[in-house]
Amino acid sequence: MTLGTQSQHRIDYIELTVTDMAGAQRFYSEAFGWQFTDYGPGYAGIRNGDKEAGGLRLDDPVTQGGPLVILYSRDLESSLDSVRQAGGTIVVEPFEFPGGRRFHFEDPSGNQLAIWSES
């Protein structure tokens, strides 16, 4: 079932808890070119074209664990370099799995995400 252009029960928005709003925006902007809409000192929306895809929420501390957010990349090595240059920490080096390769990283607030690619 669809509602307008939305698909029923698809993941629509992801919120990341961060400990430093300016630092998180700088990291994600440098690493992935993400843009933000500031809604005050404690929240910023992550823009994906003309739609918001998620947000950064200021809180302390960041709780690790729970679902793993996995981003897609057309060029895994380029994404790996971008994460390192922006100040991310690689916690699982690139590895192969059926269907592709991926790595895990930690952002400056301590959130762990992953990036995968077909090759």
CATH number for the domain spanning 19: value is: 3.10.180.10
SS (H, E, C) 16-60: EEECCHHHHHHHHHHHHCCEEEECCCCEEEEEECCEEEEEEEECC
**Domain with 75 in it:** 2-117
Pairing of strands 14-18, 51-58: parallel
Residue type, 114: A
Q: How many domains does the chain have?
A: 1
Of the candidates 6, 32, 36, 46, the one whose C-alpha atom is nearest the C-alpha of residue 88 is 32
Amino acid 119: pLDDT: 81
Instruction: List, for residues 16-69, the tens digit of each pLDDT value.
Output: 999 999 999 999 999 999 999 999 999 999 998 888 999 999 998 888 888 899
CB count within 10 Å of CB 84 equals 13
Instruction: List, for residues 74-91, the tens digit of each pLDDT value.
Output: 999 999 999 999 999 999
pTM of the model: 0.88
